[in-house]
Amino acid sequence: MYVRYASLHDIAGKLRNGELDLISYINDACDWIDKTEPIIEALLPERNRRKRLLLEAGLLLKKFPLPSTRPQLFGVLVGIKDLFNIDGFDTQAGSSLPPELFQGIESAVVTELKKQGALILGKTVSTEFAYFQPGPTSNPLNPNHTPGGSSSGSAAAVAAGFCPLAFGTQTIGSIIRPASYCGIAGFKPSFGRLSTSGVFPFSQSADHIGFMTQTLEDLTFASSVIIPGWKTLPHPEKAPIIGVPTGPFMEQADQETMASFLAHVMKLGDAGFEIVDLDLFPDIEDINSNHKKLIAYEFALNHTKLYSKYSNLYSVHSRKLYMEGTAISTQEHKNLVANQLRFRNHIEGIMDREGIDIWLCPSTIGRAPKGLASTGSPLMSLPWTHAGLPSLTIPLISEDNPLPLGLQVISRFNSDEFLFVCSRLLAKM
């Protein structure tokens, strides 16, 4: 029986020890995908997907016949966003451009996943060039709503039970937002913590590699396996002090989202957590504008050769961003990059002054919008991405609405492990 919504940790453990038969796991997963994928469209089409996976599974069993020798992700199916190069797969970056234009070395993350025994389920749908032009993917919780973007297919594949782990990228809110919309957990590590080698770039100064699972516990397990130098930290001696932004930044969220978020914060306060409210981003419009300029400049730089020949294949969204990027001077770009570090230092300086350990805010400005014409707003993630800080989202499920909201947790730069320790405490509330 396919454990389609089971824990990543449990699936991995049972595949390693042989309690879950790998061939049956593959066949049951493919049966479920054959039945559900025509509705969800989370994956790029692949002829003979089942045949390939069964062949790879057979080779894996021959290589690791003894459970004691099997790596951590032995046989686990993993979805990979269509920005990552994978040997044997085409990359199109969610676009209509010829795939040979994106050929290159295999993603370092994918190579490590294979080393850990993972089987690549396939490429997951991305918005065009990881920007705003949606693909065909719908939200598994309600196919009439968007799954979010740009890592649309990765979020939908996990939420639909196709795979227990999927990888994406985030340049504004492309992991946190779709994970939140689809009711799963998503993690964007500190900038640079996971290598972007072998991943088609949007913005070298803002691109983050991250991943999604069903639960926070599975994010923790995946992090310990995939992220170099990951350390298991003990529970903190005292409860973390929580910073909650107020002012213009939070006013971007809708009333329902804010009401749900503040009710949760009140619950945390009642449980004994110290809450510090302050207007962290009074200049959020300038922050949003600066980030948009930064990524537009680098988008245009990355697409110069492609756009000169294939501009007719670009969507209106991508063409507009390209033109915005070409209007920004090299000096302005240098200033924008330098401002990123100043911005991060500013946030962490406030944390020092106020004794704040982590930040909390909504993961999105609202629930997943109806329709597939838009992937929703990334603004609740933008300042944290701009600063390169680690962030994760865990679902806030409400009984009166099947479309969830998410709780976003943020910590200091390169304190990703501490972020998880604190988030596990919050998830118990």
81 lies in which domain range?
8-226
- Helix/strand number for the chain, H first, E second: 13, 10
CA–CA gap between residue 407 and residue 59 (Å, rounded): 41
Residue among 107, 126, 138, 150 flagged as catalytic: 150
Q: CB 195: neighbour CB atoms within 10 A?
A: 14
Largest Cα span, the chain: 60
My answer on whether omega of the bond before 150 falls inside 30° of 0, hence cis, is: yes
Whether residue 195 lies in the annotated active site: no
CATH number at 213 reads: 3.90.1300.10
Q: Of these residues, 14, 81, 114, 188, which one is catalytic?
A: 81
338 within a domain of the structure (yes/no): no
Give domain status of residue 235, yes or no.
Answer: no
355 conformational bin, left if phi > 0, alpha if psi -120 to 50, beta if neither? left
Is position 349 within any domain? Answer: no
Range list of β-strands (E), 26-103: 77-81
Q: Is residue 236 part of a domain?
A: no
Nearest to 210 by CA among 424, 408, 427: 408
427 domain residue, yes or no: no
Q: Is residue 271 part of a domain?
A: no
| Sign of CA pseudo-dihedral 27, 32, 38, 40 | negative
Predicted pLDDT at 52: 98
Is position 339 within any domain? no
Give me the number of domains the chain comprises: 1
309 in active site: no
Residue 362, beta-bridge partner list: 407
Tell me if residue 370 is catalytic: no
In a domain, 17, yes or no: yes
Q: Is the pTM of this model over 0.95?
A: yes
The one catalytic residue in 95, 174, 190, 377 is: 174
Cβ neighbours of 320 (radius 10 Å): 14
Q: Work out the angle between the directed axes of helices 8-17 and 22-40 (0-180°, nearest 10).
A: 150
Digits of tens for pLDDT over the chain (429 positions)? Answer: 456 788 999 999 999 999 999 999 999 999 999 999 999 999 999 999 999 999 999 999 999 999 999 999 999 999 999 999 999 999 999 999 999 999 999 999 999 999 999 999 999 999 999 999 999 999 999 999 999 999 999 999 999 999 999 999 999 999 999 999 999 999 999 999 999 999 999 999 999 999 999 999 999 999 999 999 999 998 888 999 999 999 999 999 999 999 999 999 999 999 999 999 999 999 999 999 999 999 999 999 999 999 999 999 999 999 999 999 999 999 999 999 999 999 999 999 999 999 999 999 999 999 999 999 999 999 999 999 999 999 999 998 776 788 999 999 999 999 999 999 999 999 887
Helix (H, G, I), strand (E, B) or coil at 50: helix
Residues written for the chain: 429
pLDDT recorded at residue 2: 59
